[in-house]
Amino acid sequence: MNQYQELKPITVIGVPLDLGSGRRGVDMGPSAIRYANLHEKLTKIGFDVEDIGNLSVPTLETYKVIDPKLKYLDEIVAVNEKLAETVSETVEKGRFPLVLGGDHSIAIGTIAGVAKHHRKLGVIWFDAHGDLNTHETTPSGNIHGMSLAASLGYGHEKLVHCGGYAPKVGPENVVIIGARELDPGERKLIKELGIRVFTMHDIDRIGMARVMEEALKVVTDGTDGVHLSLDLDGLDPKDCPGVGTPVVGGITYRESHLAMEMLAEAKVLTSAEFVEVNPILDIGNKTAKVAVALVGSAFGEIVL
């Protein structure tokens, strides 16, 4: 197994986008995560950390939905193009891009910026949902449910070709962990493409350690980098109440930490994003604090 990442300096990029989701408030996610002492956590582990602030994002009230199957398409594309450019520049400087959302539609831009620098990128999609819908299968029209599909080359042309090329990743190097709510169109695409999905049934049955062992094999098979896209709704709502689309019966706090710890031990992570923290729906910034704790584990924080 190649060791892709050894204590690279980190650049934090905030993307306060909420146009891709169905509920307001997730635009405050980057601030909530920062407020939960993200910078202090990473510097204590030993990283050189720079925070370049937030990208400029349109306010929902100033725009109208033109296509109910692709809500706020042009605005979301514009933000993701800028994000892809920013992430690419970060990688070119030899720094690790750590992106804070915002809703999960920002993964389109993050992966576009990262994959440009990797011949073959592995992706761990830590989420209760597949985010594998397209404008043809979506039940909601919310683009945060289309981001993985777009990165794989499926969906509307503007989403698929973010960054000027497509596809960004191959299905053989993508793993979804924690899925427990998949739409019919997503199930169909998963079967067609042979994407490896570890549902909550799998985690219950074989345990998170085995899931991560198998997931790491998939995302490191012939790849030269691994991206982590972590949606906080992958965790159980008891631990992360501040998310827009909570689904009961999720990954536990400790299972999540074990997953991040094993990812850190593998030394394969080359980029990451933590998304869908919604402070309006949260209790005492609990979800943002969990996000920061998981960042710590993913970047090598250990008890002993």
Q: Known catalytic residues?
A: 104, 127, 129, 131, 144, 231, 233, 276
Please give the distance of CA 62 from its chain centroid, rounded to a whole number.
Answer: 27
Contact 23, 281 (CB under 8 A): yes
Give the span between the Cα atoms of 275 and 85, in whole angstroms: 19
The helix (H) or strand (E) run that includes residue 52 is: strand 49-54
Q: Do the Cβ atoms of 263 and 124 come closer than 8 Å?
A: yes
Distance separating alpha carbons of residues 2 and 155, to the nearest angstrom: 32
Q: Binding-site residues, please? A: 104, 127, 129, 131, 231, 233
* Binding site as annotated, residues for Mn(2+): 104, 127, 129, 131, 231, 233
Pairing of the two strands 96-101 and 10-15:
parallel
Whole-number Å distance between alpha carbons of 114 and 96: 10
